[in-house]
């Protein structure tokens, strides 16, 4: 049975970063989001979004708010954007970050440049009939991508949007555009 968007509960990790923008996106898609700040909220979610921010700071907050372990145990669909993608990966180039290891890729922090080098670029995404405008802000690059990972989007040759089972990661910020297609794609995974 396919669920309607309005029947789905999606959690957005509300520690820092652009979580309000994800909330607005989901509301436009008729989903009622929960902003996750307490461990007991995690099990109520049929899917979870980890927004951007600062993966080092988010590591500290996840630990101090007792959210790291319950998120590690969570098996539902997850979508990480930018810093959220770094947290979902298995490792990165910064020992201060702890990883939830939901997708077997390595990430390289800030590899697309510093804040001042932020940019918007058209991304070709599999099954989308037109480009998606990717907003890149101190964005990570994905490395050591193994065959069981599906590359859904690339910027030039560089993979920037990946799927592994029910886990999605993007280097860029789809919540900072008006384009709802990537959020709907995540909802389709839940349905
Ligand atoms: N550079 C940040 C990090 O490494 C991510 C930036 C972002 O989420 N926009 O955590």
Write down the pLDDT at residue 63: 97
pLDDT greater than 80 at residue 2:
no
Atom nearest to 92 CA in ligand 1:
4
DSSP 178: S
Q: Which residues are catalytic?
A: 82, 173, 175
Name the residue among 109, 107, 119, 97 with its Cα closest to residue 169.
107
pTM summary value = 0.96
Maximal CA-CA distance, the chain: 46
Which pLDDT score is estimated for 96? Answer: 97
Q: How far is CA 170 from CA 3, 20, 40, 67, 102, in A?
A: 24, 18, 27, 22, 14
Give distance in angstroms: CA of 115 to centre of ligand 1. Answer: 9
- pLDDT of res. 115: 84
How buried is 156 (Cβ within 10 angstroms: 0-12 exposed, 13-18 middle, 19+ buried)? exposed
Residue carrying the six token digits 């910027």: 155
Q: Whose Cα sits closest to atom 5 in ligand 1? A: 83
pLDDT at 32: 87
- Structure-token match 């994905």, residue found: 142
Annotation: CATH topology of 5-190: Rossmann fold (3.40.50)
Q: What is the pLDDT of residues 61-97, one digit of tens each?
A: 999 999 999 999 999 999 999 999 999 999 999 999 9
Tokens 């927004």 belong to 51
Domain locations in the chain as residue ranges:
5-190
């Amino acid at each position: 049975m396919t669920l309607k968007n309005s029947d789905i509960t999606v959690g957005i990790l509300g520690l820092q970063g652009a979580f309000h923008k994800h909330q607005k996106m989901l509301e436009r898609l008729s989903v009622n989001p929960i902003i996750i700040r307490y461990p007991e909220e995690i099990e109520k979610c049929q899917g979870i979004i980890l927004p951007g921010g600062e993966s080092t700071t988010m590591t500290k907050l996840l630990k101090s708010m007792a959210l790291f372990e319950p998120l590690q145990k969570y098996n539902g669909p997850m979508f990480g954007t930018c810093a959220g993608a770094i947290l979902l990966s298995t490792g990165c180039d910064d020992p201060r970050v702890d990883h939830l290891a939901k997708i077997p890729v390595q990430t390289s922090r800030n590899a697309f440049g510093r804040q001042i080098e932020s940019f918007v670029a058209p991304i070709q995404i599999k099954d989308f009939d037109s480009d998606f405008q990717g907003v890149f802000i101190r964005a990570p690059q994905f490395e050591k991508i193994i065959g069981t990972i599906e590359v859904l989007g690339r910027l030039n040759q560089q993979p920037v949007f990946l799927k592994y089972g029910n886990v999605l990661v993007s280097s860029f910020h789809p919540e900072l555009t008006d384009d709802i297609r990537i959020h709907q794609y995540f909802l389709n995974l839940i349905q």
